[in-house]
Structure 1
């Protein structure tokens, strides 16, 4: 399987050599069949203990002509006639050899492509990475296709668990290795030889070959032969689709920081996590924290001897080799057991932010991706991407209590339910309605989580600058759930305290007078030229943001999709470089 343990210490991509790093320390259970008895020869001679699984007596492959390097494929153009890489073609000398990065697939030699076998047959030199013990997984996969007259170059990697006295530390030792290895290959290429660099999996998918490619491809004609990746092999071994329909597949290295892993796991559809081994405990914690452990599947040494599959939750962390992958497969058409639905149901209340998908937090995106049912006001549901197999329950904006109980009832039956609000679900939104219903004895055993979202006040403030940079109050002008006298009293108190105000629900078709009344109350305490931000449909197609003096605030320009930000006595404005109004409130307040 492709991946890199090396990145636990440095941010450098590697594959085969890092895998052998794990093998050198007893972690990967590296297969040894087909490897040289005394390690691969680095001086150009084939190792004395050649493969025991080779082809004909001569060691030559049965699919090509060793004498000429031309594949016996019935009409395929000779390799020399193929178009080299653009950079290599421009700069290669007339006598230069060819560089071929050969993807070998995930481990089973029978999964090598026809072109990979041909490329090895065409090569004069076969290079592969190994640790100091001399065993190379890449060589073992290709062993049956190696000839006695192949010059073998073992590129012996410094491994992460070794100590080094290099003045640049491990990173410096690694850079020296890349320079030395590429120089060795360049000497063969300059002599006109074709060099095949073997890469487990795919050369450009976390492969060690990439480091040679970056140093040599601009100097020599180059070809890269793709291979079957470990991710594809893992999905095949699980017997389940990896991603389907509009699902996005995310591939993560297990070497990422735990917080980053958790966030990406929470926000993704289908996922493959590579580079396990020593990183497995961290990856398992991230899966648990993201709420996705129940659906995570484990594949060890896919297509290799000792292959094992199962649930990540059941795996002993001490037994995990480097050659393993954690998979969160497609949810489209999956059975309840495949989706991990032996876990209890729950309700997650999420906020979509003020507009479309760009405003979703990773945590909310993940909750929506893993929900069986999505419940909410139809307008807000339209902001949520549709997913095959997921049930959507839209309703009118005036039935919040009924919507909350419906969601809890679904969860009580074992469903995972996302209740959708606009903005932040805890700010004048559905979180309160759900928790009020959840207080009933009937739903005492139903878990309820609330995930934060970008609220309209913060979104509108960001559009104009920082009007909420100091103390501020948030009020709703809707008198449907509280009398106007209470609203007016709170407006006076906030205005008298010289707080910036964020006013939600300022008006609607049936509530047309509240904005005018609020302006009157505020003018009792604020100067007529106090800046007011009138923000409508922030983030939407109809976004319009204006800054006007308080005395000129026009109620006819305000509706339910509008939010008002009323400045304090300290709030300032100026024209930005683009000509738009910039509004900000200093964090310092004058001494009283």
Structure 2
């Protein structure tokens, strides 16, 4: 609240960050505010001992009014009708009322908070209930994250790395996904969550890098490798740290053997990457792929990139497998989903040869163009559909025409990949002729170009109006069935969907 709108006789509220535990890490401003306060409030469990008070103890005066805010429950169960959340809401409301009484009487109130007041701290519950009514100042403090990194003497992030801070109370699968998708991480609130956090580290491939820090800067401080930490010994005031790889070149786990991981980047940029794919790309020593797709992958220190033309898939696959056979961890980068008209087939085909049978190969899924285009247009793939490439570079047009006719007779929605290019200009027109032999001229066709990219264009046209001149290699076509519907929404946009129930069902 501003000075102008606060009640003139009211006191001032301070949220005072005390730092991670060592009293010498308190800021000068924190010490000054405590010294000037009339009331010092701090949270504690029912045993009455307050870590916050112990940090600030040497700065408390005999004439300070102390307000212990004692939690009614911590980790135990409660018979409150609103459950744990209900009993805590009542506690925070009551505590805020006690502090408000002091503020209304003109007293200055300092609420002590370990670490930083607005970083996973108890003070924020008072702030949300009081800051709009009283003049308030928050004094930042050194967080446990910074203290842990300092005690490990390890950089958390460097350059363009991303740091993710996670509560250990998240569901294990969510922890796993977020650990896989980030560069560096700190997991807070361990204690009883430690076994799940450790499993998430292992599943996401981060366990070998992870460090453990307990009570940083406090008595009883302990550090070490997370993998070797006894779960029974872990208190609440402990964190798991996955530090910077740039700042710790030896932290990347050395592969026991080389491998090839074939990954899909989705139809466009980083928004379409899965957490599993992000982890594989981060772990790779070498990236191999079509240059356009490699450019979608963030550059990382120490990684080697080998870009090539889009027409040398077998050579690219053999090159990647040769590197893996020599012990390298290789990611072959593909667009969309690597198993849909993309690099997974090329890699597995070469890997089936005698010289590469023992090279480990994994394929990770990605968002394919058909699904991305369908989502942008509505739900045209809501019922049975067929996926066909119109490129006759690797199969005769006669085969393509036969499959188009068969799918059209079966009344399947069609996802048509690779419809045209500078050197292939007639295939779309011929496909339209074949489909019109079995489909109404009013059949909706989704023309989706550069989905997810800066030039995204998604239009719905009649099959009879499909113009081959408007189709290129960055376009995918979704041709509806006899049941596919098109409606115009209230905002004027058209959407299309194919009902899941067929009329005869």
Change (3 A) 1:121 1:430: same
Work out the CA distance in 2 between the residues paired with 1:357 and 1:101.
Answer: 38
| Structure 2 counterparts to residues 502-517 of structure 1, below 5 A | 502-517=415-430
Shift in Å at residue 152 of structure 1?
Answer: 1.9
| Structure 2 counterparts to residues 132-281 of structure 1, below 5 A | 132-281=46-195
- Kept in 2: contact 1:333–1:389 (CA 8 A): no
- Kept in 2: contact 1:267–1:367 (CA 8 A): no
- Kept in 2: contact 1:272–1:328 (CA 8 A): yes
Q: In the comparison of the two structures, how many residue pairs are matched?
A: 505
1:552 aligned onto 2:468:
no
Q: Once superposed, what is the RMSD of the aligned Cα atoms?
A: 2.1
Work out the CA distance in 2 between the residues paired with 1:212 and 1:346.
Answer: 53
Where does the alignment leave 5 or more consecutive residues of structure 2 unmatched?
none
The structure 1 residue matched to 2:201, chosen from 265, 272, 287, is 287
The structure 2 residue matched to 1:113, chosen from 7, 27, 30, is 27
Work out the CA distance in 1 between the residues paired with 2:148 and 2:355.
Answer: 43
The structure 2 residue matched to 1:454, chosen from 346, 367, 386, is 367
> Aligned to 1:295, what secondary structure does the other structure show?
coil
TM-score (structure 2 length as normaliser): 0.94
Pick which of 435-444 and 235-244 moved more.
Answer: 435-444
Work out the CA distance in 2 between the residues paired with 1:168 and 1:578.
Answer: 42
Work out the CA distance in 1 between the residues paired with 2:152 and 2:358.
Answer: 34
Shift in Å at residue 370 of structure 1?
Answer: 3.4
Change (3 A) 1:446 1:313: farther
Change (3 A) 1:318 1:502: same
- Kept in 2: contact 1:91–1:218 (CA 8 A): no
Change (3 A) 1:306 1:409: farther
Shift in Å at residue 283 of structure 1?
Answer: 1.0
- Per-residue deviation, residues 479-536 of structure 1 (Å, max 9, x unmatched): 2222222222211211111111111112222222322332232233223332222222
Work out the CA distance in 1 between the residues paired with 2:46 and 2:257.
Answer: 49
> Aligned to 2:421, what secondary structure does the other structure show?
coil
Shift in Å at residue 256 of structure 1?
Answer: 0.8
Aligned to 2:277: 364
Change (3 A) 1:533 1:309: same
| Structure 2 counterparts to residues 511-550 of structure 1, below 5 A | 511-550=424-463
TM-score (structure 1 length as normaliser): 0.81
Work out the CA distance in 1 between the residues paired with 2:259 and 2:150.
Answer: 31
Shift in Å at residue 237 of structure 1?
Answer: 1.4
Shift in Å at residue 471 of structure 1?
Answer: 0.8
Shift in Å at residue 201 of structure 1?
Answer: 0.3
Work out the CA distance in 2 between the residues paired with 1:350 and 1:342.
Answer: 18
| Structure 2 counterparts to residues 268-347 of structure 1, below 5 A | 268-335=182-249, 337-341=250-254, 344-347=257-260
Where does the alignment leave 5 or more consecutive residues of structure 1 unmatched?
1-84
- Kept in 1: contact 2:158–2:247 (CA 8 A): no
- Rg bigger for which structure? 1
| Structure 2 counterparts to residues 412-427 of structure 1, below 5 A | 412-427=325-340
Pick which of 203-212 and 434-443 moved more.
Answer: 434-443
- Kept in 1: contact 2:15–2:112 (CA 8 A): yes
The structure 1 residue matched to 2:476, chosen from 538, 542, 563, is 563
- Per-residue deviation, residues 531-589 of structure 1 (Å, max 9, x unmatched): 22222222223333333333333333222112111222222323333434322222222
Shift in Å at residue 443 of structure 1?
Answer: 4.1
